């Protein structure tokens, strides 16, 4: 700003006195017009001379601490803040908050349209936040600004990112530097899910959403409608939408769908037969249908264990239990199998997968490995062996599946043997 004069008549200001500026343009905007995000290889001085503007500046320098962090400025000629200098290489956008808001641009270079980079204003990696009073449906953008250019392609969308399994998926996607976003949409919000897919065009969807029951799966016996809707109806709707848009879908299912037959190890081709609880019934119905979809990978997850403490983590449960059934079962070691999952997805694997580490292990063996590594002295009471009793805490007993699974689809991906996996998990857990 060169000079500003303010008196009872109004304001007089001289926006610029600088020979570095080579071009001046004027932008007149209807209310709710959004322009940007535009990136130029020259700086520009943006001055609001009428109306009100929400101005947004974004640093696209990957080495900067504020990389992709939007900074917001309310420009108003009746206040001291009515102009902003947008540095070279920074993204610029604005939203007109009043009818006929006028901006004057002074450019250090000559504007050439095909030398201007465009990023879509709904880019999820930038995540522009509009004022709460602004209805996004009222925003007006040009066809060019509505072209779906993003900072990075969106390869993965994760539904149900906040649960035990979902949060582990998100952590490992970050660790492996995958291009992904998460969605808080509920599965029944099908029209919004369609809009999300049309906007971001993902290659892969990982659906961690569903009901497992609180405190355990037997909650579903008393809440059948909710279980049907969340674990069957909208899972199938998601599969159909993904099929329509050519998206690979991964569904988190359960291995606990088989009867406890002594000595039997179930294959991926076997059909669930444990109808003793409603949760299992629904999972059996779901997987018998989704296996017909050639774009769906359905994971039978069984007693998941992780190095991160959680009330859904088998290891966390075991070290707190006073009583256990010393049954032998198959286990999903999250830290090892989830990175493998990304390889399976990107290889377009489909069908039913027994998503467990090779081999089986008894619960007391897990406790013993934990004791050895941590120098603990956990000594839970062993209940009389009954293959139809639940894994118990405080002597709560219900029918539950202690499934032993053979994982054929995982063979080519070299997962850890279950005992090696448990040892690694215990070492990382502490």
Q: 284: which residues sit within 8 A by CB, 6+ positions away?
A: 257, 271, 272, 273, 274, 275
Partnered with residue 93 across adjacent β-strands are 56
Please state which of the ranges 110-114, 142-146, 372-376 shows the lowest mean pLDDT: 110-114
* Structure confidence at residue 345 (pLDDT): 98
Amino acid 217: pLDDT: 84
Q: Are 113 and 180 found together in one domain?
A: no
Q: What integer is the mean pLDDT of 281-306?
A: 96
150 located within any domain:
no
> 17 or 422: which carries more pLDDT confidence?
422
In this structure, the answer to whether residues 130 and 162 fall within a common structural domain is no
Band (17; pLDDT cuts 50, 70, 90): low
Q: Are 266 and 258 in contact (CB under 8 A)?
A: yes
Q: Judge whether 117 and 63 are in contact, CB under 8 Å.
A: no
pLDDT of 244-289, one tens digit each? 999 999 999 999 999 988 889 999 999 999 988 999 999 999 999 9
**3-class DSSP state of 346:** helix
| pLDDT for position 184 | 94
* Residue 106 contacts residue 16 (beta carbons within 8 Å): yes
- Count of domains observed in the chain: 2
Burial degree of 299 (CB within 10 A; 0-12, 13-18, 19+): buried
**Average pLDDT of the chain, as a whole number:** 92
The number of angstroms, rounded, from the C-alpha of 59 to the middle of its chain's C-alpha atoms is 24
* Same domain, yes or no: 131 and 274: no
Cα 201 to Cα 68, 158, 194, 196: the distances in Å are 21, 13, 10, 8
pLDDT tier for residue 31 given thresholds of 50, 70 and 90: very high
Judge whether 149 lies within some domain.
no
User: What percent of the chain has pLDDT above 70?
Assistant: 94
101 and 193 part of one domain: no
Phi/psi of residue 195, each to 5°?
-60, -40
Pair (98, 162) in one structural domain: no
Residues 324 and 369 in one domain: yes
- List, for residues 39-51, the tens digit of each pLDDT value: 999 999 999 999 9
Distance CA 231, CA 279 (A): 8
pLDDT exceeds 90 at position 179: yes
> Do 52 and 164 have their domain in common?
no
CB atoms within 10 A of CB 284: 18
**Domain boundary at 105, 138, 171, which?**
138
Tell me what pLDDT residue 396 has: 38
Q: Say if residue 396 is in the same domain as residue 282.
A: yes
Q: In this structure, are residues 169 and 158 in contact, taking their beta carbons and an 8 Å threshold?
A: yes
Q: What is the pLDDT of residues 53-79, one digit of tens each?
A: 999 999 999 999 999 999 999 999 999
> Would you say residue 75 lies in a domain?
yes
For residue 89, the domain's CATH number is: 2.60.120.10
- What are the tens digits of pLDDT across the range 194-216? 999 999 999 999 999 998 887 78
Looking at residue 387, its pLDDT comes to 40
Give a yes or no: residue 16 inside a domain. Answer: yes
Distance CA 391, CA 398 (A): 8
Selection from 115-119, 190-194, 325-329 with the highest mean pLDDT: 190-194
Is 177's pLDDT higher than 90? yes
Domain range enclosing 88: 3-138
Packing angle between helix 164-175 and helix 334-346, nearest 10 degrees?
A: 70
| pLDDT for the residue 351 | 97
Half-sphere exposure of 340 (CA within 13 A, CB side): 20
CATH code, domain carrying 199: 3.40.50.720
Q: Does the residue 146 lie in any domain?
A: no
Question: Which stretches does DSSP call E strand in 214-340?
Answer: 248-254, 296-301, 323-324, 328-329
């Amino acid at each position: 700003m060169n000079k500003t004069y303010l008196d009872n008549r109004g304001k007089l200001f001289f926006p610029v006195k600088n020979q570095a500026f080579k071009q001046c343009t004027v932008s007149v905007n209807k209310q709710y017009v959004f322009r940007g995000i535009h990136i130029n290889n020259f700086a520009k001085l943006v001055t609001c001379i009428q109306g009100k503007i929400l101005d947004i500046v974004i640093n696209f320098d990957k080495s900067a601490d504020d990389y992709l962090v939007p900074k917001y400025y309310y420009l108003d000629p009746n206040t001291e803040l009515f102009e902003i200098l947008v540095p070279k290489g920074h993204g610029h956008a604005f939203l007109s908050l009043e009818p006929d808001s006028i901006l004057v641009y002074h450019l250090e270079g000559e504007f050439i349209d095909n030398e201007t980079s465009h990023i879509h204003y709904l880019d999820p990696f930038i995540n522009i936040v509009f004022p709460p009073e602004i209805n996004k449906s009222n925003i007006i953008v040009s066809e060019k600004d509505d072209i779906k250019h993003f900072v990075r392609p969106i390869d993965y969308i994760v539904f149900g990112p906040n649960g035990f399994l979902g949060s582990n998926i998100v952590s490992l996607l970050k660790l492996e530097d995958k291009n992904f976003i998460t969605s808080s949409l509920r599965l029944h919000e099908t029209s919004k899910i369609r809009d999300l897919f049309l906007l971001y065009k993902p290659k892969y969807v990982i659906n961690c959403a569903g009901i497992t029951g609180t405190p355990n799966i037997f909650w579903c016996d008393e809440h059948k409608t909710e279980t049907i809707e969340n674990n069957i109806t909208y899972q199938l709707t998601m599969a159909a939408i993904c099929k329509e848009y050519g998206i690979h879908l991964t569904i988190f299912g359960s291995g606990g769908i088989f009867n406890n037959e002594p000595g039997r190890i179930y294959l991926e081709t076997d059909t669930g037969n444990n109808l003793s609880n409603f949760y299992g019934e629904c999972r059996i119905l779901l997987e018998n249908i989704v296996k017909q979809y050639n774009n769906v990978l359905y994971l039978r997850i069984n007693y998941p264990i992780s190095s991160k403490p959680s009330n859904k983590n088998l290891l966390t449960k075991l070290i707190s239990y006073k009583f256990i059934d010393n049954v032998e079962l198959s286990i999903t070691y999250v830290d090892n199998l989830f990175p493998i999952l990304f390889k399976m997805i990107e290889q377009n694997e489909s069908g039913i997968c027994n998503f467990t580490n090779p081999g089986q292990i008894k619960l007391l063996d897990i406790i013993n490995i934990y004791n050895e590594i941590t120098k603990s002295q956990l000594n839970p009471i062993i209940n009389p062996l009954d293959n139809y009793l639940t894994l118990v805490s405080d002597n709560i007993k219900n029918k539950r599946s202690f499934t032993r699974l053979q994982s054929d689809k995982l063979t080519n991906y070299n997962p850890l043997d279950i005992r090696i996996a448990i040892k690694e998990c215990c070492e990382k857990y502490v």
